[in-house]
Amino acid sequence: MLSAKQRRIALKKNIEHAHDMARRLRADGADEITLTYYADEESFRAMKLPEEGDDFEYRQLVTAEFAKVMLAHGLHLKVQLLDAKEYFEWLGARENTYQAQHEYPGGRHVSGDEAMALLGIK
Domain ranges of the chain: 4-119
* CA–CA gap between residue 96 and residue 84 (Å, rounded): 11
Rounded Cα gap, residues 92 and 96, in angstroms: 9
CB proximity list for 81: less than 8 A, separation 6 or greater = 37, 38, 39, 107, 108, 109, 110, 118
Q: What is the model's pLDDT at position 122?
A: 86
**Rounded Cα distance, 10 and 23, in Å:** 20
What digits encode the pLDDT tens for the residues 53-74? 889 999 999 999 999 999 999 9
Q: For residues 91 and 67, give the distance between their C-alpha atoms in angstroms, rounded to a whole number.
A: 27
Please give the pLDDT value at position 6: 87
Residue 75 is which amino acid? Answer: L
Give the pLDDT score at 24: 97
* Average per-residue pLDDT for the chain: 94
